[in-house]
């Protein structure tokens, strides 16, 4: 049995401080797919996409699933290293939106507000093998077409682009990472369908008068 790109990539991602979550519950997936609103969210986002929509009043089970993943030792360790807090603060899911990316659209280098962010992959319409043929590279480089990229510092202080081979095996999976970790999504070229992902920001709750920080 062949190993999927998801299985290959998640080991690498975890070693770089990015949490892969294998199974997003069907209840969460079904809600996200069936409740895409017409609340245009382009004005708040970096994406060069025409269709980005904000969710509102999502159910409690969505919060619970996403926030429960913060108990993973990888993210818990990152939280415990934060020194800016003078008292314990609970987390809150502060923003939730969907990106409906079409052929040639892209997400430039950006980061997020809050403490942690995430990507849930709902639909990947292309085959990675077809995408790699659009701009083929030689043996010393890899095609960037359609890929997700995180920008990281290696042990020498150089900026490293961690290219993630997102394909259909990523559907119904999630990645969680520190909100200030810069990342980007390159355009795809071989499908006329949507690449659909859901993202959100997790922040500290700081009180009724000021929801998050």
pLDDT tens sequence across 167-212: 999 999 999 999 999 999 999 999 999 999 999 999 988 765 444 4
Question: Quick one: tokens of 141?
Answer: 């480089």
Neighbouring C-beta atoms of residue 123, cutoff 10 Å? 16
Q: What is the pTM of this model?
A: 0.91
Residue 212 DSSP one-character state = B
Give domain status of residue 52, yes or no: yes
Residue 132 lies in a domain: no
Task: Give yes or no for residue 163 having a pLDDT over 90.
Answer: yes
Whether 97 and 198 have beta carbons less than 8 Å apart is answered as yes
Is there a domain that residue 46 lies in? Answer: yes
Residue 134 lies in a domain: no
Q: What is the mean pLDDT of residues 37-63?
A: 93
Report the number of distinct structural domains present in the chain: 1
Residue 19 falls inside a structural domain: yes
Strand order through the sheet with 116-123: 19-21, 174-178, 116-123, 195-204, 91-101, 51-54
122 SS3 class: strand
pLDDT at 211: 45
| Within a domain: 138 | no
**SS3 at position 123:** strand
Cα separation, 149 vs 165, in Å, equals: 9
The verdict on residue 68 lying in a domain is yes
Domain range enclosing 34: 5-123+173-180+192-204
* CB neighbour burial string for 154-164, b if at least 16 within 10 angstroms, e if fewer: eeeeeeeebbb
Residue 164 lies in a domain: no
Q: How far apart are CA 67 and CA 106, in angstroms?
A: 28
Q: Residues with Cβ < 8 Å from 30, sequence gap 6 or more?
A: none
In this predicted structure, the answer to whether residue 84 has a pLDDT above a threshold of 70 is no
């Amino acid at each position: 049995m062949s190993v999927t790109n998801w299985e290959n990539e998640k080991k690498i991602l975890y070693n770089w401080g990015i949490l892969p979550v294998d199974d997003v519950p069907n209840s969460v997936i079904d809600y996200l797919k069936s409740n895409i609103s017409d609340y245009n969210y382009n004005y708040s986002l970096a994406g060069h996409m025409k269709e980005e929509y904000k969710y509102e009043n999502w159910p409690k089970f969505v919060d619970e699933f996403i926030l429960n993943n913060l108990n993973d030792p990888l993210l818990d360790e990152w939280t415990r290293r934060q020194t800016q807090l003078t008292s314990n603060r609970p987390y809150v899911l502060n923003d939730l939106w969907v990106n409906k990316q079409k052929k040639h659209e892209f997400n430039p280098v950006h980061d997020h507000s809050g403490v942690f962010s995430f990507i849930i992959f709902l639909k990947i319409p292309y085959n990675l093998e077809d995408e790699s043929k659009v701009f083929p590279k030689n043996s010393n480089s890899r095609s960037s077409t359609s890929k997700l990229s995180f920008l990281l510092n290696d042990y020498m202080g150089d900026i490293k682009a961690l290219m993630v081979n997102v394909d259909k095996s990523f559907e119904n999976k999630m990645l969680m990472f520190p909100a200030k970790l810069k990342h980007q999504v390159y355009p795809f070229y071989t499908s006329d369908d949507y690449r659909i992902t859901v993202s959100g920001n997790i922040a500290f709750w700081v009180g009724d008068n000021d929801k998050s920080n």
